Amino acid sequence: MDAFSIIRLTLSRMNDELTSSFFSEDSEDVMFSGEEGKIDFISSSHERIFKDSKEYDLVEIGYFTEVDEEGESLFLWRREDRTPDDDVLEGGEREKLMEGLEGLEFKYYDGEEWRDEWDSKEGEGLPQAVKVTLKFANKELSTIAFIPLGKSETVKE
């Protein structure tokens, strides 16, 4: 039961942070980059705890996997940088969220079809939705994060 709770909370957190994705065409530092097992983006989901802290309302977030030392399973990691800078793909602190994954998949909806990769630096802005799938030995669990982006909110499964 604890493992299922961790998975459910992880998918919920990923959904919340992706839903709060932020993009600005005026800044090369604010971007959204994703491929099958890795995603990096700017989110407005950060909450400052201390009023005078040198943090922003925006935060760099990354999710990725790494193989364990025995090479038998994957760890799911979350990276967070509370002070976004010109390298949105690196920096910050890493936190191991779970182990025992078989795979992690991200799919990006552009308003017409699901794609395997996304890069805002190619002039694509933000996807309308991101599907996150955690793959385990005997099951897959997923969530779809809808990113507020305009007219169409209908997503084909």
Model confidence pLDDT, tens digit, residues 44-100: 865 555 566 555 578 899 999 999 888 777 999 999 987 766 666 677 889 999 998
Residue 101 confidence (pLDDT): 92
For tokens 């998975």, the residue is: 7
- pTM beyond 0.85, yes or no: no
**Averaging pLDDT over each range in 13-17, 39-43, 85-89, which range is the top one?**
13-17
Q: Strand, helix or coil at 77? A: strand
Question: What's the CA gap between 33 and 41, in Å, rounded?
Answer: 6
- Find the mean pLDDT for residues 28-44: 83
Q: Determine phi and psi for 14, rounding to 5 degrees.
A: -60, -45
pLDDT at 146 over 90: yes
- Confidence class of residue 36 from pLDDT cuts 50, 70 and 90? confident
- Confidence class of residue 123 from pLDDT cuts 50, 70 and 90? confident
- Confidence class of residue 28 from pLDDT cuts 50, 70 and 90? low
Question: Dihedral angle at the C-alpha atoms of 37, 40, 45, 46, nearest 10 degrees?
Answer: 120
